[in-house]
């Protein structure tokens, strides 16, 4: 088959996939809290013996980045990556800083830094839960989706913490339970392919969880969970505080949702995400509805 500009990238991904080592999986670890985050180190330690671990993460805090690819990240004279050494108890084969977003870190890893496609990408462990319709805002989730776009299974792991830790990662946070579940589901994904339409597992761990805390498969709630703070609502606004707060409508909260699992049931939420963002509506019914309404509206103009 001729390699055209349209399929050259797919051919390259296929060549990287062909170099995978069945006896020693390659695990790429990234995050959105930056390369010095203790949560990142906890994820590395959790999976260090499950395969070859490589870390490629943003240089700085990049929360709320979603799957963005800011062009300014690459418009620099110096190289956008820098190889570094992690703490001695974080046994990664390679570790790189990327001057870019979490999604760019993942893309740069497989395009420029790795000689084979990762068998698993782990994004996290994030300071702060990523729930509800705010899920798409998350840089943690955005990095996992970036991996899924080239066929790499991914985990997006977040730990419920106090809001003052969201932008200021702290050694005070205990990651032992979150690390346990990171390892648990990393092993599950590496054991075999997931069902069709499951591209990412979004895992949210309650702050008081232990390794014995139950887990359940959930769905993304339609509630936002994080809502913006209106400036005039605070008499003494704190410029360093998060510009949103948590609000939950318990009366309409879906009992099978990620928010319910973490906030009400206090279980670990394991939420399958799909790259297919299409509505689950009956498309033929919607076609008829729109045809009727557009016909009734006339040509206009």
Rounded CA gap, 13 and 115, in Å?
10
Local confidence band at 81 (pLDDT 50, 70, 90 cut-offs): confident
- The average pLDDT across 101-112 equals 95
Q: What is the residue-averaged pLDDT of the chain?
A: 91
Local confidence band at 76 (pLDDT 50, 70, 90 cut-offs): low
Task: Convert the pLDDT of each residue in 20-61 to its tens digit.
Answer: 887 899 999 999 999 999 999 999 999 999 999 999 999 999
Q: Are 121 and 144 in contact (CB under 8 A)?
A: yes
Asked if residue 233 has pLDDT above 80, the reply is no
Local confidence band at 298 (pLDDT 50, 70, 90 cut-offs): low
Q: Which residue has the higher pLDDT, 196 or 80?
A: 196
At residue 299, the pLDDT reads 53
- The average pLDDT across 107-116 equals 93
At residue 285, the pLDDT reads 97
Rounded CA gap, 69 and 102, in Å?
9
Asked if residue 13 has pLDDT above 50, the reply is yes
Asked if residue 210 has pLDDT above 90, the reply is yes
Tokens, residue 188: 């599950």
Which range, of 109-118, 239-248, 257-266, averages the lowest pLDDT? Answer: 239-248
Q: Are 47 and 182 in contact (CB under 8 A)?
A: yes
At residue 150, the pLDDT reads 95
Closest listed residue to residue 119, CA positions, set 155, 95, 143:
155
- The average pLDDT across 182-202 equals 97
Q: Are 195 and 231 in contact (CB under 8 A)?
A: no
Q: Which residue has the higher pLDDT, 20 or 126?
A: 126
Rounded CA gap, 188 and 191, in Å?
5
At residue 229, the pLDDT reads 82
At residue 300, the pLDDT reads 46
At residue 72, the pLDDT reads 66
Local confidence band at 73 (pLDDT 50, 70, 90 cut-offs): low
3-state SS, residue 122: strand
Residue 203 buriedness (CB in 10 A; 0-12 / 13-18 / 19+):
buried
Does the pTM of the predicted model rise above 0.75?
Answer: yes
Q: Which residue has the higher pLDDT, 87 or 233?
A: 87
Give me the percent of the chain exceeding a pLDDT of 90. 75
Which range, of 193-197, 222-226, 234-238, 279-283, averages the lowest pLDDT? Answer: 234-238
What class is the 8-297 domain? alpha beta
Asked if residue 292 has pLDDT above 60, the reply is yes
Asked if residue 141 has pLDDT above 80, the reply is yes
Q: Where are the domains of the chain?
A: 8-297
At residue 296, the pLDDT reads 80
At residue 301, the pLDDT reads 44
């Amino acid at each position: 088959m001729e390699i055209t500009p349209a399929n050259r990238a797919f051919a390259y991904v296929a060549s990287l996939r062909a170099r995978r080592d069945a006896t020693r999986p390659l695990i790429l670890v990234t995050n959105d809290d930056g390369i010095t985050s203790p949560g990142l180190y906890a994820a590395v330690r959790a999976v260090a013996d499950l395969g070859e671990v490589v870390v490629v993460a943003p240089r700085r805090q990049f929360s709320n980045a979603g799957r963005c690819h800011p062009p300014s990240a690459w418009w620099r004279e110096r190289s956008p990556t820098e190889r570094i050494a992690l703490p001695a108890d974080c046994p990664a084969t390679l570790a790189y800083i990327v001057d870019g977003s979490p999604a760019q870190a993942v893309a740069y890893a497989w395009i420029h830094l790795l000689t084979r496609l990762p068998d698993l990408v782990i994004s996290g462990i994030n300071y702060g839960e990523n729930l509800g319709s705010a899920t798409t805002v998350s840089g943690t989730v955005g990095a996992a989706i970036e991996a899924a776009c080239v066929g790499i299974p991914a985990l997006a792991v977040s730990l419920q913490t106090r809001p003052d830790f969201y932008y200021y990662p702290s050694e005070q946070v205990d990651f032992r339970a979150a690390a346990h579940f990171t390892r648990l589901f990393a092993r599950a994904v590496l054991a075999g392919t997931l069902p069709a339409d499951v591209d990412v597992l979004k895992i949210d761990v309650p702050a008081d969880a232990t390794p014995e805390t139950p887990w359940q498969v959930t769905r993304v709630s339609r509630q936002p969970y994080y809502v913006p703070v209106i400036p005039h609502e605070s008499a003494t606004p704190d410029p360093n505080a998060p510009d949103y707060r948590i609000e939950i409508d318990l009366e309409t909260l879906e009992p099978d949702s990620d928010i319910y699992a973490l906030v009400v049931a206090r279980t670990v939420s394991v939420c399958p995400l799909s790259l297919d963002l299409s509505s689950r509506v009956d498309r033929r019914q919607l076609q008829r509805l729109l045809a009727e309404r557009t016909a009734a509206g006339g040509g206009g103009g």
